[in-house]
Every structure is written in C-alpha cells, then in structure tokens.
C-alpha cells in the first residue's frame, strides 16, 4: 500500500544539513492501523508528512498503491492528496467556517460534487461522527474531542484510502482520547481504511494498532506486529516506552529482584490462554511454589494478553517451565 524505498530527508538550516530521516525502507500494508512511536524530534512527523508530500524527500522514492508519488506534478499531486486524509494534534479547523463548511471544504476544493450532493455527504459524515447537532456551530464553540471528530469527518469527506494522524489525541484528555481512538478503530474496519498514526504513548499503539514502528533519532529502530514489539521489546527505546506504559522502571525492578529468592520468570499469555486456570494446575503438578511479583492483563487491539512476573520456589522448576511452554505460554527467564 505505502512503500518507502530508501527515503532520506534532510533539512537545510542556515547552510547546514540536518538529517530528520535516515535512509529508510518501510512497508505499510493496506487496511491496517500502523503506529509510529518515538520521542520528540525522532522524525515521526517528517516521515508521516512525506506520505502526502507536505515534505519533499531529499532522495529515495515513495510508492502509494504502486504509484511513485515523488514523481507527481502539481496537478497530479493535488488529486493524489484528495485521496489521503489528514488529522492534526491541534485540529487545524478553519475558525471562520462552521462545522458543516469545514467538513465540506475538501469536497468544495475538489469541485466534483454538486451543492446538494455535498450537503448530503456532509450530513452523512456528521452523523457518522455524532455531531449533527453542531453542524452550524463554529469550531471555537466545540470541545477538543468534538473538534477532532470534525477533523476526522473532514479528512474522510473525499473517501480517502489513507488517513494520516499526527498526534491526533495528544491534546485530549484520557476519556476523550478513548472515544477518538474508538472512532478511528471503527472507521478502519468499516472503510478498510489504512491509518498511519503518530503517538508518543505506547497505550495508543496497544489499543488500536496492528503494526508499529519505533523511531529514534531519525531511524526506525524496531518494527513489527504490535503484540511482538509490545510483549518482547528489543531496542532500549522500545523498552522504555513499554515500561512507561506499565508504569515500571527497569532498573528499579532489577534492584527489587535482588532481594527475592527463587527463579524469576516472566510469562506471556495471549488470546485464549490468557483466561485459562494454568497457574494453579502447573504448580500442583510440578510442586513449585510461586509468588506473583508483577502482573497485568489487558488487550492488544482486540486480543487479550497477560503478563506475569513470578518467582518459583522449590519443586521441579524445569517441569513447570515445560508445562507452561506446552500450553503456548511464552516463558522468559529473568533470573535462573
């Protein structure tokens, strides 16, 4: 769907070149929600804005549906952009236009539908995002969550196949964030829309993304399915994000382990096994005693998962580990 081939981006600042994106190869499959996470200045916005050519790549090519968009002329680029929606952290709605006129704007610019067709489409979109009552209000009269829903309706008006979200929920409170994420999740399913989403919260990735790329200093340092990256983070940056999400401090945890006896393991359950009564069963059969040091049961998009950190004392540790593995539970030995 979206393919980066050795895309490199450098900005010229006062004669000096600043690399914002190291040569990068990337594939974003159709219909997925693709998350980009990284610290401030990592190059997330740069990467995202290359997709609709708000930024021009310094070198490399970007293919969208097998079309090299870096080769488009001005008119073709405008047509291409009509097929790519975008939403922003600060919404970027026109304060001089009503909600309905904001949503109608891309349609008016495209100039393909009649006035009555536009009106019908705007009504349909406002209904979809639950804002029909606010059609004639101005953005200043809306809450943040409502503004972002106007932004989403506006971005969807031309029936795009791609939606780009640059920190779409960063300016919202947790509850409103949840609602906006829910809406993005639904439209991704309903419209088979490919969504590329920037965030610096692992929680957002975990809740709605299929795949994730972790960025650090202009590089993609880790990439894969969310469950893979989230449950088994490799790169230090990724680990930091995951631990942040779990409100854990890696160093702190290691210090605590030093005072605990026994074999310390981390179990990862996914899908069905999450709710099975495995722990007691294994303990009975292998004769180990366990204490739970840490634990969490949650969802990755719609799949439940659980992670438990245990210390095993006595009994047959090896047999216990085998039993866990046999039940499709991923076992990591943190300290033998």
Ligand X SMILES: Nc1ncnc2c1ncn2[C@@H]1O[C@H](COP(=O)(O)OP(=O)(O)OP(=O)(O)O)[C@@H](O)[C@H]1O
Residue pair 298/206 in contact by the 8 Å Cβ criterion: yes
106 forms part of the interface with other proteins (CB under 8 A): yes
Which residues in 229-268 contact ligand X (CB under 6 A)? none
Record the tokens describing residue 88, joined without a space. Answer: 């922003």
Could you tell me which stretch among 45-53, 58-66, 218-226, 271-279 binds Mg ion (CB under 5 A)?
45-53
| Strands 194-199 and 263-270, bridge-based pairing | unpaired
| Exposure string over 225-246, b if 16+ CB within 10 A, otherwise e | ebbebbbebebebbebbbbebe
Kindly state the smallest distance separating residue 20's Cβ from ligand X, in Å.
3
CA-to-CA separations, 175 to 179, 180, 206, in angstroms, rounded: 7, 9, 16
Torsion of CA 49, 54, 57, 63, to 10 degrees: 70
Q: What is 146-185 written as a DSSP string?
A: HHHHHHHHHHHTT--SEEEEESTTTTS-HHHHHHHHHHHH
- In the bound state with ligand X, the residue whose beta carbon lies nearer, of 16 and 247, is 16
Kindly state the smallest distance separating residue 35's Cβ from other proteins, in Å.
20
Which residues in 44-83 contact other proteins (CB under 8 A)? 52, 54, 74, 77-82
Axis-axis angle for helices 144-156, 99-110 (nearest 10): 20
- In the bound state with other proteins, the residue whose beta carbon lies nearer, of 108 and 256, is 108
Kindly state the smallest distance separating residue 138's Cβ from other proteins, in Å.
4
- In the bound state with Mg ion, the residue whose beta carbon lies nearer, of 54 and 63, is 54
- In the bound state with Mg ion, the residue whose beta carbon lies nearer, of 40 and 251, is 40
Axis-axis angle for helices 74-82, 99-110 (nearest 10): 140
| Candidate list 45, 146, 286, 307; residue touching Mg ion; CB under 5 A | 45
Which of Mg ion, other proteins, ligand X, none does 84 bind, CB closer than 5 to 8 A by kind? other proteins
- In the bound state with other proteins, the residue whose beta carbon lies nearer, of 155 and 202, is 155
Which of Mg ion, other proteins, ligand X, none does 257 bind, CB closer than 5 to 8 A by kind? none
- Measured distance CA(316)–CA(286) in Å, rounded: 5
| Strands 263-270 and 330-335, bridge-based pairing | antiparallel
- In the bound state with other proteins, the residue whose beta carbon lies nearer, of 19 and 82, is 82
| Candidate list 8, 39, 65, 97; residue touching other proteins; CB under 8 A | 97
Kindly list the residues in this chain that would bind Mg ion in the complex (CB under 5 A).
Answer: 45
Binding site for other proteins (CB under 8 A): 52, 54, 74, 77-82, 84, 86, 88, 90, 92-97, 105-106, 108-110, 138-140, 154, 158, 164
């Amino acid at each position: 769907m979206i393919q980066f081939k050795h895309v490199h981006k450098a900005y010229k600042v006062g004669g000096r070149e600043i690399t914002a994106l190291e040569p990068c190869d990337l594939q974003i499959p159709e219909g997925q929600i693709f998350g980009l996470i990284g610290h401030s200045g990592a190059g997330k916005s740069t990467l995202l804005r290359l997709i609709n050519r708000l930024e021009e790549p310094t070198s490399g090519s970007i293919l969208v549906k097998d079309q090299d968009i870096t080769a488009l002329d001005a008119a073709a680029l405008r047509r291409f952009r009509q097929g790519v929606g975008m939403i922003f952290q600060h919404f970027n709605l026109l304060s001089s236009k009503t909600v309905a006129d904001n949503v109608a704007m891309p349609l008016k610019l495209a100039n393909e539908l009649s006035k009555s067709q536009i009106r019908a489409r705007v009504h349909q979109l406002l209904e979809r995002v639950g804002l029909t009552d606010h059609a004639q209000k101005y953005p200043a009269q809306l809450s943040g969550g409502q503004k972002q829903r106007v932004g989403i309706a506006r971005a969807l008006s031309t029936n795009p196949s791609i939606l780009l979200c640059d920190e779409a929920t960063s300016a919202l409170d947790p509850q409103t964030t949840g609602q906006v994420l829910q809406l993005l999740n639904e439209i991704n399913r309903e419209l088979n829309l490919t969504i590329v989403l920037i965030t610096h919260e692992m929680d957002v990735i975990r809740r709605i993304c299929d795949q994730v790329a972790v960025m650090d200093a202009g590089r993609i340092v880790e990439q894969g399915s969310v469950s893979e990256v989230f449950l088994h983070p490799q790169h230090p940056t990724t680990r930091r994000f995951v631990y942040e999400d779990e409100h854990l401090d890696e160093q702190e945890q290691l210090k605590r382990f030093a005072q605990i006896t026994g074999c310390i393991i981390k179990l990862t359950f996914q899908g069905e096994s999450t709710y099975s009564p495995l722990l007691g069963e294994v303990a009975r059969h292998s004769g180990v005693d366990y204490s739970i040091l840490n634990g969490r049961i949650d969802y990755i998009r719609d799949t439940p998962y659980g992670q438990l950190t245990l210390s095993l004392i006595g009994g047959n540790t090896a047999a216990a580990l085998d039993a866990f593995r046999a039940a499709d539970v991923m076992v990591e030995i943190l300290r033998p």
